[in-house]
Amino acid sequence: MSILSLQSLSLDYADARGGTARRVLDGINLHIASDEFVVVIGRSGSGKTSLLNLAAGFTQPSEGRVLVDGRDIDGPGADRAVVFQDDALYPWLNAADNIAFPLKLRGLPKAERLQRAEELLVKVGLEGAGRKNICELSGGMRQRVGIARALASDPRFLLLDEPLGALDALTRARMQLFLLDVWSRSGTGALLITHSIDEALLLATRIIVLAPAPGRVIADIPAEFGQALLGGRSAKDVKALAGFKSLHDELTALIHADDEEIAA
């Protein structure tokens, strides 16, 4: 079991006009175990992507620490793989070569890389699609390739920034189940960012709510609807549960608490 820890994290962005720095995240404490599916939700601009970038090691905090298993991280690492909203695949490589790319960087021999890519294609339900060009794949298939590529280096944590945001509703619903399934079988911790309360409730073992200006954690709520989905219940049935509806209302109230104030 691994732990990804964000300890007393704060982040300031310099003002472009040379004024005082603006605090974007303030006093974030978050510990994610590698058997958890943690979903971060919050309004646009509340600092979700900034938080994920810190966890990935793409940016450094202004205060506080990011640790994996008690050791400070000093940048991106193979223990934390990132999946973005845009699939960010290499269009000049086919699906299998995209998946195998991180293994190439690690110097694995070609035959081994391609065998691992084939295994991962099976895992993400794209058996036989390895030779397809990226432009021949649908949006959902591309995201599967992106997730397979992220899994290629056997990360301890998958960091996902709205990976399903650009998909149509039906594909998104399928991909939610797929993500849940991959997570449950891979033993990789997940930190997923989303705007969708339904998505958070369906996937998370814990939901973190960020409030904006500056971004801070205002709720840390356990959830277990994903287990019902994994057990074979339909998303429609799960969404009809009384517990789902009440938590949905609670999250809506938390996320939109000061909307009227802002609109006024």
Residue ranges in contact with Mg ion by CB under 5 A? 48-49
**What's the rounded Cα separation, in Å, for the pair 53 and 84?**
11
Which residues here bind ligand ATP, judged by CB under 6 A? 13, 24, 42, 44-50
Q: How far is the CB of 63 from ligand ATP (least distance, A)?
A: 16
Q: How far is the CB of 54 from ligand ATP (least distance, A)?
A: 10
The residue number with the shortest CB distance to Mg ion is 49
Q: Are 134 and 95 in contact (CB under 8 A)?
A: yes
The partner in contact with residue 47, picked from Mg ion, ligand ATP, none with C-beta cut-offs of 5 to 8 angstroms by kind, is ligand ATP
Q: How far is the CB of 44 from ligand ATP (least distance, A)?
A: 3
85 or 184: CB nearest Mg ion: 85
Q: How far is the CB of 78 from Mg ion (least distance, A)?
A: 24
The partner in contact with residue 194, picked from ligand ATP, Mg ion, none with C-beta cut-offs of 5 to 8 angstroms by kind, is none
24 or 167: CB nearest ligand ATP: 24
**What's the rounded Cα separation, in Å, for the pair 182 and 213?**
34
The partner in contact with residue 13, picked from ligand ATP, Mg ion, none with C-beta cut-offs of 5 to 8 angstroms by kind, is ligand ATP
The partner in contact with residue 50, picked from ligand ATP, Mg ion, none with C-beta cut-offs of 5 to 8 angstroms by kind, is ligand ATP
Q: How far is the CB of 61 from ligand ATP (least distance, A)?
A: 13
The partner in contact with residue 46, picked from ligand ATP, Mg ion, none with C-beta cut-offs of 5 to 8 angstroms by kind, is ligand ATP
